[in-house]
Amino acid sequence: MSMELRTITSEDFAAVGELIYDSTNAWYVASGRPPIFTGPKESTQLFCRVYDQIDSGNCILAVSESGELAGSCFYHPRSTHVSLGIMNVHPNFFGQGIARKLLKHITDLADEQQLPVRLVSSAVNLDSFSLYNRAGFVPRMVFQDMLIDIPETGIDDPSVSQAGVREATAVDAANMAKLELELAGIERENDLRYFINNDSGIWHVTVSEDAAGQLNGFLVSVYDPGSNMIGPGVAKDEETLIQLLLAEINQQRGRQPVCVMPAEATQAVNKMYHWGAKNCELHFAQVRGAWKEPRGLIVPSFMPETG
Ligand SMILES: CC(C)(COP(=O)(O)OP(=O)(O)OC[C@H]1O[C@@H](n2cnc3c(N)ncnc32)[C@H](O)[C@@H]1OP(=O)(O)O)[C@@H](O)C(=O)NCCC(=O)NCCS
């Protein structure tokens, strides 16, 4: 079946939101698990709005001859790489090569600019793992998605120092970007500025700095009916990551956010268990093209994507 590929416009937001909701939930239900999106159907339009606010037009759509929206994929070109965000095909169109076409559109853009493509994909979803793996993506890092039920009173852990931990302000954005480049090898100052500015009121950003005022890490969280996550962030070491986690957890009192934890951060993962977190999924960071071992700990997010 022939498919037109075209760029998203604001008139597509409702249909794309519905596609994300139906496609992702269909996969979870078919895998014997409860649906992942449980808010109202409009809630997943959040993906369209966030990408539009950061840098509009970064979503490619597949539309059938009869005008049906068959697939969508968000992406984000940055100076160091191209990131691939949530990819969805409508269940009526599964297995017809639509995701492969959308993916090729994005990898062609990256190839023109000689940039690697990075994404975070579920390690338990063989449909998406295979799609990316066959297109040249290599799994590089393992993450465990930890769901944490935060009491209304928050979590008090006197063993975790909050010295040097504070809310980020606009002047931190450049140093946060520098730190992320140093630790994770990616640059995206624009996104970091967007989180700190928080025009939509759904973001919160904490930084941790040493006694000399040098940043050791930062961590973002988001709360909206379409997404409740702790991340993205980076940290120089486990102690910093634990400090940042506790600070952001206490911004999300009474909620149940998910945090995509780097599996090698065993002390931080154990702290999360101690605070009551449970594993709910596994993810791989996958990279097509150049990749360097990170020099710190990375907490990715799905919206906007990092990893
Ligand atoms: C994952 C998803 C996007 C795939 O879409 P799709 O249009 O059905 O995928 P395609 O038809 O393009 O197939 C992808 C490729 O993976 C291959 N593939 C699928 N399962 C495979 C397996 N177990 N082993 C090897 N290859 C496999 C297919 O053969 C195809 O390769 P080919 O075209 O070279 O033969 C779709 O299932 C979906 O939207 N799922 C729900 C949401 C989701 O999981 N999104 C991804 C996470 S962000």
1, pLDDT greater than 80: no
pLDDT band at 307 (very low <50, low <70, confident <90, very high): confident
Give yes or no for a contact between 58 and 76, defined as CB atoms under 8 angstroms apart: yes
Q: Counting atoms of ligand 1 from 1, which one is nearest the CA of 122?
A: 47
Instruction: Give tens-digit pLDDT for 73-95.
Output: 999 999 999 999 999 999 999 99
Domains annotated on the chain, with CATH: 3-115 (3.40.630.30), 145-299 (3.40.630.90)
User: Where would I find the H helices in the chain?
Assistant: 13-30, 45-55, 98-112, 126-134, 173-184, 189-197, 238-249, 266-274
Closest to 203 (Cα-Cα) out of 213, 193, 212 = 193
Q: Residue with the nearest Cα to atom 22 of ligand 1? A: 130
Q: Counting atoms of ligand 1 from 1, which one is nearest the CA of 89?
A: 39
pLDDT of amino acid 2: 85
Q: Residue with the nearest Cα to atom 24 of ligand 1? A: 130
Q: How far apart are CA 184 and CA 186, in angstroms?
A: 6
End-to-end CA distance of the chain: 34
How remote is the CA of residue 134 from the centroid of ligand 1, in Å?
Answer: 10
109, pLDDT greater than 90: yes
Q: Counting atoms of ligand 1 from 1, which one is nearest the CA of 102?
A: 12
Instruction: Give tens-digit pLDDT for 33-58.
Output: 999 999 899 999 999 999 999 988 99
184, pLDDT greater than 90: yes
Instruction: Give tens-digit pLDDT for 206-243.
Output: 999 999 999 999 999 999 999 999 999 999 999 999 99
How remote is the CA of residue 132 from the centroid of ligand 1, in Å?
Answer: 8
* Mean pLDDT (the chain, rounded): 96
Q: Residue with the nearest Cα to atom 20 of ligand 1? A: 127
Q: Counting atoms of ligand 1 from 1, which one is nearest the CA of 26?
A: 41
pLDDT of amino acid 191: 97
Which H or E element spans position 72?
A: strand 69-77
The model carries a pTM of 0.96
300, pLDDT greater than 80: yes
Which of 89, 125, 145 best tests ligand 1's pocket when mutated (most atoms within 8 Å of CB)? 89
Q: Is 128 helix (H, G, I), strand (E, B) or coil?
A: helix
Instruction: Give tens-digit pLDDT for 122-175.
Output: 999 999 999 999 999 999 999 999 999 999 999 999 999 999 999 999 999 999
Q: At what angle do helices 13-30 and 45-55 cross, to 10 degrees?
A: 130
Which H or E element spans position 7?
A: strand 3-7
The sign one gets for the Cα dihedral 115, 116, 119, 121 is positive
Which of 131, 132, 227, 284 best tests ligand 1's pocket when mutated (most atoms within 8 Å of CB)? 131
22, pLDDT greater than 80: yes
Ligand 1 pocket, CB under 6 A? 23-24, 27, 86-89, 94-100, 121-122, 125-128, 130-131, 134
